[in-house]
Amino acid sequence: MSTWANLGLQDSASPLMEQLIFFHDHALLILVMITVLVGYLMFMLFFNSYINRFLLHGQLIEMIWTILPAIILLFIAMPSLRLLYLLDEINEPSITLKSIGHQWYWSYEYSDFNNIEFDSYMIPTNELSNDGFRLLDVDNRIILPMNSQIRILVTAADVIHSWTVPALGVKVDGTPGRLNQTNFFINRPGLFYGQCSEICGANHSFMPSVIESVPVNYFIKWIASKVNF
Ligand code: CUA
């Protein structure tokens, strides 16, 4: 999760988020190079007092500064498209989690296991324990196994919400009447916090999602404790 003065991206907990961070750094590097080059040229032009009296046209330089930016853009577009299709790929998930957005909480369904379902509300500040995170912790966490492909289906019951967990590189809108799909792979145990990211009403800021990533055998124990035989 993010802590004080953490202005960059969170550490990744999934291969897709790792790729997103690589792409961000790549695009930023190109942006810095363009800014420095253009900034230098503008700075030098301000202090240039020479003129070319015979200058009427400059075909060559026009060609260069038209084609060069197009080529530079390709170096951003190609990796961007690769990432886009990578994020959209579903790799034979072993578990499906359904997230339904409500005003203002999330409810979850594990359809593979006798349809376990529960609501997940933010813990209000006055009820928070000493080790809890204000505005982020919930009463019922999503428990998921690490090192497994997980599919999530996102929808909403009233208005548009967005199920977002930055450390996993997941951000899917929950729209009434639609079912959106994505998948991820958590590569380490831990707690991963996220917040709704569609402006969905008065308590938009107070419907976080918390994933507790655990080893597979712990997950099976948890599932067994939830299923009513
Ligand atoms: Cu739900 Cu914003």
The pLDDT tens digits for 66-107 are 999 999 999 999 999 999 999 999 999 999 999 999 999 999
202 C-alpha to center of ligand 1: Å? 9
Question: Is it the case that residue 227 has pLDDT exceeding 90?
Answer: no
Q: Is the pLDDT of residue 228 over 80?
A: no
Task: Examine the pLDDT at 52 and tell me if it is beyond 90.
Answer: no
pLDDT, residue 108, reads 96
- Cα of 14 vs centre of ligand 1, distance in Å, is 24
Angle at 191 between CA 4 and CA 1, to 5 degrees: 20
By the 8 A CB rule, do 93 and 150 touch? Answer: yes
**Residue with CA at minimum distance from ligand 1 atom 1:** 161
pLDDT for res 35:
97
- Amino acid present at 84: L
Contact (Cβ atoms closer than 8 angstroms) between residue 137 and residue 122: yes
Map residue 173 onto helix, strand or coil: strand
Structure tokens belonging to residue 203: 């308590």
Output the pLDDT for position 13. 96
What phi and psi values does residue 220 have, to the nearest 5 degrees?
A: -60, -40
Ligand 1: nearest atom to the Cα of 104:
1
In the chain, at which residue ranges do the beta strands (DSSP E only) sit? 95-102, 105-110, 116-120, 142-145, 149-156, 161-165, 170-174, 180-185, 190-194, 209-214
Q: How confident is the model at residue 164 (pLDDT cuts 50, 70, 90)?
A: very high
- Tell me the domain boundaries of the chain: 15-49+56-88, 95-228
160 and 196 Cβ atoms separated by less than 8 Å: no
Predicted TM-score (pTM) of the model is 0.88
Question: What is the per-residue pLDDT for 229?
Answer: 58
Please report the atom of ligand 1 found closest to the CA of residue 198: 2
Q: Looking at the CA of residue 161, tell me the nearest atom of ligand 1.
A: 1
Please write the tens of the pLDDT for every residue from 115-145: 899 999 999 999 999 999 999 999 999 999 9
> Which residues does ligand 1 sit against, CB inside 6 Å?
101, 104, 161, 196, 198-200, 204, 207
Distance 173 CA to ligand 1 centre (A): 10
- Residue 52 has phi, psi (to 5 degrees) of -105, 110
Dump pLDDT digits (tens) for 210-221: 999 999 999 999
In this predicted structure, the answer to whether residue 146 has a pLDDT above a threshold of 70 is yes
Q: Among 3.40.50.11780, 3.30.540.10, 2.60.40.420, 2.30.40.10, what is the CATH number of 95-228?
A: 2.60.40.420
Here the tokens at position 102 are 């409500």
pLDDT at 115: 86
By CB atoms closer than 10 A (0-12, 13-18, 19+), residue 87 is middle
